[in-house]
């Protein structure tokens, strides 16, 4: 027995698009079924390429085009990753300042050192304590050596 599929399309926009496209290229297909089968096959090719990275390249020109498309996609991904990394770094630095301030203020409270709101807002307590600077330096060096 031959396998076959029946597809139902309910979205009116998709139906109009199918009808419109078929009318424009009706001369290329013997009937609407062959047109739809071609659309599905072309769509599967895109899905395989985009999701699984599978592409059957027919000639050298198509290979160069595929390499170019892949390079563009990778460049966009790199740019997005760089922006994301900058935002993450900014958040980390803000958290470091906030935690340093809290830590230093707690030390001040435990030593009964007086401080006021203006002193805190000026950033007097934002400096990372020396021992944490050393720990951070050691961690960064260890991570650098793991490359």
Examine the pLDDT at 145 and tell me if it is beyond 90.
Answer: no
Structural domain total, the chain: 1
pTM above 0.85, yes or no: no
Residue 105 lies in a domain: no
Residue 18 lies in a domain: yes
Distance between CA atoms of 81 and 74, rounded to whole angstroms? 10
Distance between CA atoms of 13 and 26, rounded to whole angstroms? 19
Residue 43 lies in a domain: yes
Domain of residue 23, residue span: 9-56
Helix 12-24 and helix 32-47: axis angle, to 10°?
110
Query: Average pLDDT over the chain, rounded to whole?
Result: 84
For residue 89, what pLDDT is reported? Answer: 84
Residue 92 lies in a domain: no
Distance between CA atoms of 9 and 34, rounded to whole angstroms? 16
Lowest mean pLDDT among 7-11, 36-40, 72-76, 142-146: 142-146
**pLDDT higher at 50 or 24:** 24
Which of the given ranges, 15-19, 53-57, 99-103, has the highest pLDDT on average?
15-19
Distance between CA atoms of 96 and 136, rounded to whole angstroms? 11
């Amino acid at each position: 027995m031959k396998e076959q599929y029946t597809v139902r399309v309910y979205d009116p926009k998709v139906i109009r698009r199918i009808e419109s496209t078929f009318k424009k290229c009706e001369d290329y297909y013997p009937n609407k079924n062959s047109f739809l089968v071609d659309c599905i096959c072309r769509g599967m090719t895109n899905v395989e390429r985009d999701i699984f990275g599978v592409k059957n390249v027919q000639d050298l020109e198509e290979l160069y085009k595929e390499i170019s498309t892949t390079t563009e996609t990778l460049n966009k991904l790199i740019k997005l990753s760089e922006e994301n990394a900058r935002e993450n770094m900014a958040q980390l630095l803000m958290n470091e300042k906030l935690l340093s301030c809290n830590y230093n203020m707690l030390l001040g409270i435990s030593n009964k050192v007086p401080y006021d709101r203006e002193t805190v807002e000026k950033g007097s307590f934002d400096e990372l304590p020396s021992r944490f600077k050393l720990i951070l330096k050691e961690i960064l060096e260890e991570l650098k050596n793991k490359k």
